[in-house]
Structure 1
Amino acid sequence: MKTVLYKRASTLDELEQIRTLQLQNSSQNITSEEKLQEGFVTVQHTVALLEQMNTACAHIIAKDGEKVVSFALVMLSSFRNEIEVLIPMFERIDSLIPTGKSYVIMGQVCVDKNYRKQGIFRGLYDFYRTQLQQEFDFLITEVANVNLRSMSAHEAIGFKAIDSYEEDGIIWNIMLWDWA
């Protein structure tokens, strides 16, 4: 296994590397076979938005030397209107989370192709939890039903599907990891 360091993103270079990794694994930039076998990311963030989100609550990354090889974006609910495709998710979450409970959104997770199947996905989430469980009761994300690899990977971590909805022909599963 390669040696990776889990940390919070802190430099513009790291945010630019997140953006590059995001583009490399975007559903628009990979084949249907890759989507099925490897999973994919749906939303593309600008570096400026990644920086705003990071300033509010720093993203979780894994690095091999100077290279960002994996990321899990941290998105506070205050960013609910910044990405149009995520607005329906936030509206549903509002009706699902009990009053008085706090949550953070895992805005997107991705592992570089050359670093997959080495435990980095789990390591990223373990670090995410240790960093944020004192502030939040739940970690929430959503996964497209067709992204089978991501669905099973999130279930293996401890996420449970708490709701699903259809938007533009895609069925989305809202997944919750209870940190209590």
Structure 2
Amino acid sequence: MIYTTSKTDKDLLQVLELQKNNLPAGLTSEQIATQGFVTVSHSFGDLQKMNSIEESIIAKDHDHVIAYLLAMTEKSKLDIPILIPMFEAFDNIAFRNKKISDYQYIVVGQVCVAAGYRGKGILDTCYAEYKKHFENKYDFAITEISNRNQRSLNAHKRIGFDTIYEYQAPDGETWSIVLWDWKK
């Protein structure tokens, strides 16, 4: 297993393939409940633009991407409409008596581990690499997770993320904003 950053278009295309295989539309309700899911379907252009700002962390089995943690900064907040409410919330949510938007933070734009590779510590190792790669540049990692995605919420809690805010989106979905404080 190789843990690295996404450097090539081939890496990004493989991330998109893995993403597509884990969107709710292609999963059964049992898979969604037990294995989790990803919500956002990025375009190749979105990933290229995000990657030009900060490279994402990926895990490869030989030359095939089997896990990813996307890296997203505030510079991308208007590029993916479904994420705009999250970035807007950062202007109102306080952490240590300061708005999230007043910190230097990195957003975990999405995480995914391929079926067949789950439960083997790959996510934990990817997150260790993520922290090592970004902790000297950013105060913390932050993301939002659908409350329906209990597998992801539990995994993030295990990694060290804490829920700092919950909100209900206009479509009725409840989201938890979770933060991994690297300065603890």
- Alpha-carbon distance between aligned partners in 2 of 1:125 and 1:143, rounded to the nearest angstrom: 16
Alignment-derived partner of residue 38 in structure 2: 41
Whole-angstrom CA distance in 2 between matches of 1:29 and 1:165: 26
Cross-structure match for 2:181: 178
Q: Which residue of 2 aligns with 1:129?
A: 131
Identity level (%):
40
Please name the residue that 2:17 is paired with.
20
CA distance in 2, matches of 1:161, 1:113: 26
Matches within 5 A, 1:76-87: 76-87=73-84
Q: TM-score, normalised by structure 2?
A: 0.94
How many pairs align? 177
SS in 1 for 2:130: helix
State the match for 1:101 in structure 2: 103
Q: Which of 158, 167, 172 is 1:165 aligned to?
A: 167
Deviation at 1:96, TM superposition (A): 2.1
| Pairing 1:9–2:6 present | yes
Residue identity in the other structure for 2:57: I
Alpha-carbon RMSD = 0.9
Partner in structure 2 of residue 119 of structure 1:
121
Provide structure 2 residue ranges, at least 5 long, that are not aligned to the other structure: none
Once the 2 structures are TM-superposed, how far is the Cα of residue 95 of structure 1 from its aligned partner?
Answer: 2.0
Give the AA of the match of 1:173. Answer: S
Deviation at 1:101, TM superposition (A): 2.3
Q: Distance in 1 between matches of 2:26 and 2:76?
A: 26
Deviation at 1:61, TM superposition (A): 0.2
Distance 1:34 1:16 in 2: 24
Q: How much has 1:94 moved relative to structure 2?
A: 2.1
Amino acid across the alignment from 1:152: N
Counterparts of 1:51-70 in structure 2 under 5 Å?
A: 51-70=48-67
Counterpart CA distance in 1 for 2:85 and 2:48 is: 23
Please give the alpha-carbon distance, in whole angstroms, between the structure 2 residues aligned to 1:169 and 1:140. Answer: 22
SS at match of 1:116: coil
Tell me how far apart the structure 2 counterparts of residues 131 and 159 of structure 1 sit (CA, whole Å): 17
Q: Could you give the per-residue CA deviations for residues 9-36 of structure 1, whole angstroms, max 9, x where no partner exists?
A: 0000000000000000001110110000
Alpha-carbon distance in structure 2 between the residues aligned to 1:141 and 1:80: 13
Give the drift of 1:86: 0.6
- After the TM superposition, list the runs of 4 or more consecutive aligned residues in structure 1 that deviate by more than 6 angstroms: none
1:138 aligns to what? 140
SS in 1 for 2:108: strand
- Corresponding residue SS for 1:95: coil
Determine the structure 2 residue equivalent to 1:110: 112
Query: What is the CA-CA distance between 1:121 and the residue it aligns to?
Result: 0.6
CA distance in 2, matches of 1:85, 1:164: 16
